[in-house]
Amino acid sequence: MLKLQTKTLLALASVMLALTLVITLASLASFRDFSIRAATEHTRTAAEMIRVALTESMLNGTMHKRDSLLERIANVEGLDEARVIRGELVEEQFGNGLEMESNPDPIDYKVLHSGEPVYSLIGGYLSPEFRATIPYIASSSGDVNCLNCHAVPEGSVLGAVTLTASIDHMRTAAIMTVLVLVGAVALFALISLAFLRRLLQPLVTTANEIEDAVKKAKAGDFSVRVTQRSKDEIGAIAQHFNSLSDGIISKLTEIRRNVAHLVQSNPKQQGDLLADTADTVSGLVKVAQFKQAIEEDESSEEVFQRISEVVRDEFGFNNYSIYEVDYNRKQINTINVDGIAQAPTQWCTPDINEKCTACRAVRTGHFIDGTENSLICRSFAPEARQEGQTYLCLPVIQSGGVGSVVQLILKSETEILQAEASRPLLESYLREAAPVLQAKRLMASLRESTLNDAMTGLRNRRFLEEYSDTLVTQCKRRDTAMTLIMMDLDYFKTVNDTYGHDVGDSILVDLANIFKANVRESDLVIRYGGEEFLIILLDTDAEGGFLVADKIRKAVEAHQFKAGSILLNKTISAGLADFPNDGQAFWQVLKYADVSLYAAKDGGRNQVVRFTPDLWVGAETY
């Protein structure tokens, strides 16, 4: 692409060249016209002189010597040829005349017949030979009366004189003159180009510097400054550009410093200032959008899932783990591994699940960088370490303690560099997630407390009301049975009346422990009300449920409850029914289990009764 200076000089050179060409052509045309006019006047004068001489020869009777006259005239400088042609009327009167007065050519005939002179170049437009054929017209006026000698009418063509003259010397002079003129124009053009080049040099140099500065600015480098070479508009442009660059650097530096403060990192001292700042701001916008999204999520599980998506989709890490700390049990729960929820622990030793302080990030609350020393945390999986893999562990601080940990697994130098660059923004995501996770956990804890019995720690009736539909859905999806066992401690009112409610509460706590010790972790034990309990055995039919219920009955019968210093033996009654064999609705099956419980009590207590349709007789009274 041509530079501004080159294009300007080329334009001026083109104008000068065109001007020179026009002047040259105009000069040549002018000189040609001048040469023809001069030759015309010259030949016209010579023709008049010949006419006068011939007239004098006729008057003096020396007409027979006219040939020498014509030869002398032809030898005049500037004339190459001079000959006279007689007209037809003169030939009729005086004969053909001399040899040189005969044999006219077509131009002579044309002039003799038309009486009009012909002036032309012989051989073309640029020929150096000029010809003039001029007629002699008979006239009775003037100093000589032609009709005295010639018996012809007034205005008749007596003859014509043809003169040939060379204009080569004029053409040479014209060419020399044109060359001098062209040289002058060319010299003027060169001087003009040099002056213009010097005049444009500051503008062109400033424009080039601005172009280079803009190219570097596009790459984020705003350090280039333009030299102010003059105090005119060009200098003002350079000054304003420098001021603009200073302003951009100042503002971008301030923005980058503030952004770095937001992400709690040190701003980069090198690199693309504009792109780095724009990327960081864009990242913070995504962080804000992430925060808005997790605040509207229903549970902490959804928040952890979004964190997993951020780690994988936004930052491009495919191998990672997300852990949640359970301080009540002093354990770590594995929430997500490589994008799979509730997957078993893979990148750490299993002991962290049983002892949360085995995780260095949980124990110290600090960022753990395994890229410098992979042995800094002893809980990192030895197999992964042997394969050359390393890690970064980012703790998520909640209420002064580590609530969860995000662990990045790095398998190459490229991933290590990527992790170092991504860490400040990823920590921004985690800082925004921390209070939300804490709030979700608190809400879950509060909600959990409303679903649990405060005294026994068992689920309460409200839990049953909320999750009964879920239990039925699970059974239908897995096509399995579910047994409901209603249990009631025999003669519990007597204990409260005799030993007080504190002893009664203690017995209920012991009873809850017996229940939990004799069922699976997947089964549900619910304090249904007072001394009445409901046990839900998942994936268990009535026959299996009967065995469990009788096992619990025997355990209660064998257990000795403390009433101060007194040991008490108590018994329990149980009734059971299963879904869907006994009923197609949860609350219907629960009612059938309750009916069976009353049947057990009516039958003497301390027994388990399986629901049968005949027990439903009179159930509407319950």
- Amino acid 59: pLDDT: 66
At 146, which amino acid appears? C
From CA 471, how far away is CA 475, in angstroms rounded? 6
Domain boundaries along the sequence of the chain: 4-172, 227-296, 297-446, 461-621
From CA 144, how far away is CA 603, in angstroms rounded? 181
SS3 letters for 387-432? CCCEEEEEEEEECCEEEEEEEEEECCHHHHHHHHHHHHHHHHHHHH
List the structure tokens of 430: 């985690």
pLDDT digits over 352-392, tens only?
A: 888 888 899 999 999 899 988 888 988 999 888 888 899 99
From CA 335, how far away is CA 18, in angstroms rounded? 84
Bond preceding residue 580 cis, omega within 30 of 0:
yes
From CA 61, how far away is CA 492, in angstroms rounded? 185
- Amino acid 181: pLDDT: 78
From CA 534, how far away is CA 549, in angstroms rounded? 11
DSSP 267: P
> Which phi and psi angles does 255 have, rounded to 5°?
-60, -45
- Amino acid 621: pLDDT: 47
Decide if 297-446 and 461-621 have a common fold. no
List the structure tokens of 581: 């064999």
At 39, which amino acid appears? A
From CA 418, how far away is CA 4, in angstroms rounded? 44
**Segment holding 558, helix H or strand E:** helix 542-558
CB count in 10 Å sphere of residue 87: 25
From CA 137, how far away is CA 116, in angstroms rounded? 10
Cβ(25)–Cβ(33) under 8 Å?
A: no
The SS3 of residue 333 is: strand
Distances (CA, A) of 123 to 120, 128, 311: 9, 8, 95
> Which phi and psi angles does 130 have, rounded to 5°?
-115, 135
Query: What is 4-172's CATH superfamily?
Result: PAS domain (3.30.450.20)
Q: How many Cα neighbours within 13 Å face the side chain of 516?
A: 12
At 236, which amino acid appears? A
The domain 297-446 is placed in CATH, from the list 3.30.1330.60, 3.30.1490.20, 3.30.1490.100, 3.30.450.40, at 3.30.450.40
From CA 87, how far away is CA 33, in angstroms rounded? 31
The SS3 of residue 215 is: helix
Phi/psi-derived region of residue 400, left when phi > 0, alpha when psi is between -120 and 50, beta in every other case: left
From CA 186, how far away is CA 25, in angstroms rounded? 15
- Please, what is the Cα angle at 278 between 276 and 283, to 5 degrees? 95
The SS3 of residue 347 is: coil
List the structure tokens of 445: 């804890």
- Amino acid 47: pLDDT: 73
From CA 76, how far away is CA 374, in angstroms rounded? 119
From CA 609, how far away is CA 601, in angstroms rounded? 9
- Amino acid 560: pLDDT: 92
At 433, which amino acid appears? A
- Bridge partners, 120 (sequence order): 131
Cβ(157)–Cβ(136) under 8 Å?
A: yes
Q: What is the pTM of this model?
A: 0.53
At 135, which amino acid appears? P
> Which phi and psi angles does 197 have, rounded to 5°?
-60, -45
- Amino acid 321: pLDDT: 93
- Amino acid 537: pLDDT: 94
Site of tokens 């009540």: 328
- Burial of residue 412 (CB within 10 Å: 0-12, 13-18, 19+) is exposed
Pairing status of strand 572-579 against strand 608-610: parallel
Per 3-state DSSP, the chain is made up of helix, strand and coil in percentages (nearest 5) of 55, 20, 25
From CA 449, how far away is CA 460, in angstroms rounded? 10
From CA 325, how far away is CA 468, in angstroms rounded? 29
DSSP 359: S
Cβ(542)–Cβ(483) under 8 Å?
A: yes
Q: Look at residues 488, 565, 563 and name the one whose alpha carbon lies nearest to residue 533.
A: 488
List the structure tokens of 461: 């009736």
From CA 279, how far away is CA 275, in angstroms rounded? 6
Q: Look at residues 85, 97, 67, 198 and name the one whose alpha carbon lies nearest to residue 132.
A: 85
- Amino acid 100: pLDDT: 60
- Burial of residue 210 (CB within 10 Å: 0-12, 13-18, 19+) is middle
Long-range contacts of the stretch 532-536 (C-beta < 8 A, 24+): 532/486, 532/487, 532/488, 533/458, 533/486, 533/487, 533/488, 534/464, 534/484, 534/485, 534/486, 534/487, 534/590, 534/593, 535/484, 535/485, 535/487, 536/471, 536/482, 536/483, 536/484, 536/485
- Burial of residue 298 (CB within 10 Å: 0-12, 13-18, 19+) is exposed
From CA 311, how far away is CA 293, in angstroms rounded? 16
CATH no., domain 461-621: 3.30.70.270
Cβ(135)–Cβ(160) under 8 Å?
A: yes
From CA 210, how far away is CA 200, in angstroms rounded? 15
Could you say which residues of the chain have pLDDT below 70? Answer: 1-5, 7-9, 12, 31-32, 56-71, 73-78, 97-102, 123-127, 142-144, 169-171, 174, 220, 256, 259-274, 444-449, 618-622
